[in-house]
Amino acid sequence: MEIIKGHSVFTEKNIRLNIDKNVIVSVEELNSSEKLPYISPGFLDTQVNGYAGLDYSYENLEPDDVVQITRMLGAAGTSRHFPTIVTSRQELILKNLRIIASVITDTLELSYAIPGIHIEGPYISSEDGPRGAHDIRFIREPDVNEFLEWQDAAKGRIKQITLAPELPGALDFIKQVSSAGVIISIGHTAADPEIIREAVKSGASMSTHLGNGSHGMIPRLKNYIWEQMASDDLFASIITDGFHLHPAVVKVILKVKGLDRLLLVSDIAVLGGKAPGIHKWGSIDVNVFEDGHLGLAGTEYLAGSGHLLNHSLAWLMNELNLSPGDAVTLCTLNPHKLFSPSDPAPELKQGDPADLTLFNWEKGDQKLAVLETWRAGEKVFQLN
């Protein structure tokens, strides 16, 4: 029996969790004013491209890379994540999906740590801005047969596909693939608002990093960002690293979507955590700035994120005055609601998996000080 004490992010009360066989068997409120670290469900990041030199889309991906990325994320409080494979040639996508799936199959810990896989592209806009940092050589039209090859290689673990609905065949693709239980997310798009509406009618249920992967200039009133924000049927993921979205934009998105239809993602990339300077991301030059953010060299465009969720959560609490409970909801309860609605929600209650993050944070801190991360009753990170 493990006993874990902390200050609940949801109730703002000190609690003691009794853990047995990877499950919270009881929760007790403590009649104590002792200053304890915050305790939260473990963070779920549904957009992880890679980190610290390792990349899920690289030619040389190895099984141990999956293990190492998962381990490093634990230091930021992220207990589970979706590996994200970006636009590439079909052979490489299939190879890397097989590697990820084999690691999940062979390792009980990782089968829980990786509850799904996200394919971002290759069915996206080729225009500058909406394309983001994706390699234009491999952008192509949606193909259901290609998707079926992906899902076979992934052993059925693909849970999300990001695409641009204006591409030829995209609406039919959305209908077929969403009916198979895969979340279709609109992203890296240059679509007219009418196409966005058609995509939602066809089964799209999410927007990928809303406000990013877009043109530097768009029509003032009639555009694909407003249309996605206005849709009551779309969840949206956002990146709140302080660089991808201006605080006023995040505030508006929060007001429109509400706390219950937003997901917080890191979009962390292979160059996150690297030293400042120009680095290669495949064939693309990326500038790692002194403050850690990533940009396409010589342009105004970003190239994924250089910060993990412990940074993004602190930004939300500092800039928008969200409570710890409201902030962590965006990377705990909400992704669970969208991707695993039939499973028990992670609410720090009896019967929940012992999937936990303990952290300290004071107003003004630029990131959460993660003390411990637990995954299915096992401590996978402890601050020395």
pLDDT per residue rounded down to tens, the chain (384 residues)? 899 999 999 999 999 999 998 999 999 999 988 899 999 999 999 999 999 999 999 999 999 999 999 999 999 999 999 999 999 999 999 999 999 999 999 988 899 999 999 999 999 999 999 998 899 999 999 999 999 999 999 999 999 999 999 999 999 999 999 999 999 999 999 999 999 999 999 999 999 999 999 998 999 999 999 999 999 999 999 999 999 999 999 999 999 999 999 999 999 999 888 889 998 877 778 898 888 888 888 887 777 789 999 999 999 999 999 999 999 999 999 999 999 988 878 999 999 999 999 999 999 999 999 999 999 999 999 998
Angle formed at CA 335 by CA 311 and CA 218, multiple of 5 degrees: 70
CA proximity to 46, closest of 345, 332, 346? 332
pTM of model > 0.85: yes
106 Cβ contact partners less than 8 Å away, ≥ 6 residues apart: none
133 Cβ contact partners less than 8 Å away, ≥ 6 residues apart: 86, 269, 281, 284, 286, 296, 301, 302, 303, 304
- Buried/exposed 91-111: b ≥16 CB within 10 Å, e otherwise: eebbebbebbbebbeebeebe
299 Cβ contact partners less than 8 Å away, ≥ 6 residues apart: none
For position 283, what pLDDT does the model report? 74
Domain spans of the chain, in order of start: 42-345
pLDDT digits (tens, 9 = 90+) for 118-176: 999 999 999 999 998 899 999 999 999 999 999 999 999 999 999 999 999 999 999 99
For position 226, what pLDDT does the model report? 97
Parallel, antiparallel, or unpaired for β 277-281 and 284-288? Answer: antiparallel
Under DSSP, is residue 296 helix (H, G, I), strand (E, B) or coil?
strand
**Is the distance from CB of 87 to CB of 304 less than 8 angstroms?**
no
For position 54, what pLDDT does the model report? 96
For position 25, what pLDDT does the model report? 96
Q: Does domain 42-345 have CATH number 3.20.20.140?
A: yes
Amino acid in the structure at residue 311: H
Q: From CA 79, how far away is CA 84, in angstroms rounded?
A: 16
Q: What are phi and psi of 334, to 5 degrees?
A: -70, -50
Angle formed at CA 152 by CA 146 and CA 158, multiple of 5 degrees: 85
For position 324, what pLDDT does the model report? 98
Q: What are phi and psi of 200, to 5 degrees?
A: -65, -45
The structure tokens listed for 174 are 């959305």
pLDDT digits (tens, 9 = 90+) for 257-291: 999 999 999 999 998 888 899 988 777 788 988 88
Sheet hosting strand 117-120, strand order edge to edge: 43-48, 78-86, 117-120, 158-163, 183-186, 206-207, 235-238, 262-264
The 10 Å Cβ neighbour count of residue 282 is 16
Q: From CA 144, how far away is CA 78, in angstroms rounded?
A: 32
For position 176, what pLDDT does the model report? 98
Q: From CA 369, how far away is CA 77, in angstroms rounded?
A: 9
Q: Which helix (H) or strand (E) holds 14?
A: strand 14-20
**Is the distance from CB of 348 to CB of 8 less than 8 angstroms?**
yes
The structure tokens listed for 170 are 């995209």
